[in-house]
Structure 1
């Protein structure tokens, strides 16, 4: 079957663009329902390494004539013990009769009665696999007439393209996970980052930077945004970016971008490792705000790493926050003498030479990331 302009516009392009939708492939599903004459449909997406209790992503779609009908209950459909979805051959289109259990007459009668009640008299199943990393099951149903030969042929033609889109989605999910891992750790430390080009335009900003700063479209209508700061601050950022981009060995520059909040931005030459093709930033801007740590989690890490008792770990955390020794002990219900004894044990177990060294050990360790 040759690709038509309608195929490309209504199916293949929405598959490519659909990997960025939430949930993915919604427009593709709506167009596929219209093209095949289906009444209702759903697409189930499962990832191979998803948690056991994690629900699959289900994208239900109905034709306009069925907009008042409830979506297909895929859990009820699954409970009918039709031909197991995992046993379907990827890329092959299955008819409803192939899914029924003809070896058990009682089960067959139960299946047919339930399907009739659900308004499913004709259906097609299609399984798509992403090399073991993910699976998708596409189910389309009709009520009065079976699917035409051209509709089934269209599903067969679509299958490899849906498989390719699913593999791309899996790769994108992996990249999103990597980004989320890095961003979550930085957020625990109160660190925000901005990627800038050589002219000081913002190419990207993480969640903390977005929450702390205001960004405006570039006045020259070029790609990127500008930080909404005072004119003098904007000039300092532009000059620093130009210098750092021109001479990569330049030392970092510090610009106070908000005097009222005492918010500083450290600008340094970009050293990101990006695969081509990529628009590489020239400068990375880093800012930091105070973050309240989870004391219980941090103390648990100190206990596990250094063998501290619960009270010793709590005292060590308090000292790492700069609290005076005796006051920190009193807050924990300890006497002055007990506090001094605990501090000696803490220094001995952690190898710290004093409170300043303990602060270094705690803040450079895993406790702030717990």
Structure 2
């Protein structure tokens, strides 16, 4: 039996749009609860057998969902009766691609649900599966973006995406912090066009409170199904909050250095001269020279310039 037109409007649209809500599926669950006159309506999502359950609920009271092991034994797409110790309830399982599963649950204290209520849950189950896949894809994209942002901030890089017409598509949080959220440089159109036409890297100066340089690089990102694709990525240097103590610990682990020598290496890598590094660390210049000789021997470098180059090409430079 197909869903009624009213159910398509009142339930299906909020179900599919619910992936974008701050509290996912809140509108759908509220309307489902009203539709079947339930005290509570909930979606439980589990990413796998060992993953914790995530609950999304609209409730006028408390309602159980059954034992987790029991829930995992349910056949997808079939409506089951819940334990009546907590009133009347119905549950249907939805299997998503991969190891994730979801359960749609309704409960109420007075009188049992009808066969029509159960049939409604059955018809909603495949749509919940589609919505769950969409939400998981969005969550993965958010996680990947957050990780990329943190990694680029650690590396001191912000990015700006432009389409082929030099329209600004998006900016990283690091670039926004440096340039401002509504930044648009004079001459960016011609610079983007030149980068595309010549298929070459271009550099342009950005003026603001502080002058910055923007590196424009043609990119071959796959265009999205809708909207404009990125044609050029702009890279801008952003301030890095380096942790010298953490860098020294990393250098100690990478090159098997004792703490004193690792701290000297970190100071030199941070731009200090040998005498400046000695002053920072409370060492005599003679002691710093002795440490540096050991550093060069252990890292197989020929001097400070070679040592800085070695560290800059190691993961310690990202600390």
1:300 corresponds to 2:297 = no
Q: Deviations over 1:155-188 (max 9, x none)?
A: 0111112112222322333333333332221011
- Whole-Å Cα distance in 2 between the matches of residues 129 and 56 of structure 1? 14
Cα distance change on mapping 1:369 and 1:322 into 2, 3 Å: closer
Q: Deviations over 1:288-321 (max 9, x none)?
A: 1221112333222212221112222221111011
Q: Give the corresponding residue for 1:246.
A: 197
- Whole-Å Cα distance in 2 between the matches of residues 292 and 188 of structure 1? 8
- Whole-Å Cα distance in 2 between the matches of residues 256 and 315 of structure 1? 36
The TM-score normalised by the length of structure 2 is: 0.89
1:180 corresponds to 2:166 = no
Deviation at 1:278, TM superposition (A): 6.7
Deviation at 1:82, TM superposition (A): 7.7
Deviation at 1:203, TM superposition (A): 0.6
Among candidates 278, 295, 308, match of residue 359 of structure 1: 308
The TM-score normalised by the length of structure 1 is: 0.78
Q: Deviations over 1:118-147 (max 9, x none)?
A: xxx111122222234322222211121211
CA RMSD of aligned residues (A): 2.6
Gaps of 5+ in 2: none
1:143 corresponds to 2:109 = yes
Q: Deviations over 1:63-114 (max 9, x none)?
A: xxx3xx5xx376xx66xx5862222222222112xx47xxxxxxxxxxx3xx
Deviation at 1:325, TM superposition (A): 1.0
Figure out how many residues of one structure are paired with residues of the other and give that number: 319
Q: Give the corresponding residue for 2:76.
A: 90
Cα distance change on mapping 1:20 and 1:363 into 2, 3 Å: farther
Q: Deviation above 4 Å: which 4+ runs of structure 1? A: 273-278
User: Residues 192-271 of structure 1 correspond to what in structure 2 (within 5 A)?
Assistant: 192-216=158-182, 227-228=183-184, 233-234=185-186, 236-248=187-199, 250-258=200-208, 260-271=209-220
- Whole-Å Cα distance in 2 between the matches of residues 12 and 145 of structure 1? 26
CA contact (8 A) 2:163 2:228 kept: no
Q: Give the corresponding residue for 1:224.
A: none
